[in-house]
Amino acid sequence: MFGKLLIKNNFLLASRPLVLYLLLRKMLFFDHGMDNSTLTNQEQFHIMEITEVKENNKLTLKLDGRFDALAALEMEKMLKKSLKGIEELVLDFADVKVIASAGLRVLVQTKKQMNTQGAMKIVNINDSVREILTITKLIKLLDVE
């Protein structure tokens, strides 16, 4: 029902990405002495809340939570519907705790799309997200305030 796991040539393979994600997440919690009881409900069930404010041709998205693989999928779906006719996109990262590589991919794809129709900027990022953007050199590509 949820898929199968297989170890082949020292690689962990999953027939469904969600199975692999949940397994790796569980391993990370135990490796760092954490368990699910230390997490809030939002963090346990991986919910990133996105608040959308649209003013004419400007869209502001306020993100709250972990911008990981599952959140990136939801963000992509939402952006496909919301970016039509938008000339200015503002991403408010004030409440983003962590950004994963899938989140970075969404930012790059969105920036590429917004370059053809307007501008995109990211505001209110915390130090850990700023460090990730700096290490990946995406801080030069993205308009970060």
Query: According to the model, what pLDDT value does residue 46 have?
Result: 52
Confidence of residue 142 (pLDDT cuts 50, 70, 90): very high
Q: In this predicted model, what pLDDT tens digit does every residue of 77-96 receive, in sequence order?
A: 889 889 999 999 999 999 99
- Which of 17-21, 34-38, 51-55 has maximum average pLDDT? 51-55
Distance of alpha carbon 93 from alpha carbon 125, whole angstroms: 5
Query: According to the model, what pLDDT value does residue 53 have?
Result: 92
Q: Decide: helix, strand or coil at residue 53.
A: strand
> Which CATH fold would you assign to the domain 43-141?
Transcription Regulator spoIIAA (3.30.750)
Q: Give kind and range of the element (H or E) at residue 67.
A: strand 58-67
In the Cβ-directed half-sphere of 115, how many Cα atoms lie within 13 Å? 9
Distance of alpha carbon 97 from alpha carbon 126, whole angstroms: 8
Query: According to the model, what pLDDT value does residue 36 have?
Result: 47
Query: According to the model, what pLDDT value does residue 10 have?
Result: 42
Return the domain boundaries, the chain: 5-38, 43-141
Residue 39 pLDDT greater than 90, yes or no: no
The average pLDDT across 28-53 equals 57
Residue 11 pLDDT greater than 50, yes or no: no
Chain centroid, CA 93 distance in Å: 10
Query: According to the model, what pLDDT value does residue 124 have?
Result: 96
pTM for this prediction:
0.69
Q: Decide: helix, strand or coil at residue 38.
A: helix
Q: Phi, psi at residue 52, to the nearest 5°?
A: -110, 125
Q: What is the DSSP letter of 56?
A: T
- List of residues 6+ apart from 117 with CB closer than 8 A: 83, 86, 87
Greater pLDDT, 119 or 45: 119
Query: According to the model, what pLDDT value does residue 20 have?
Result: 53
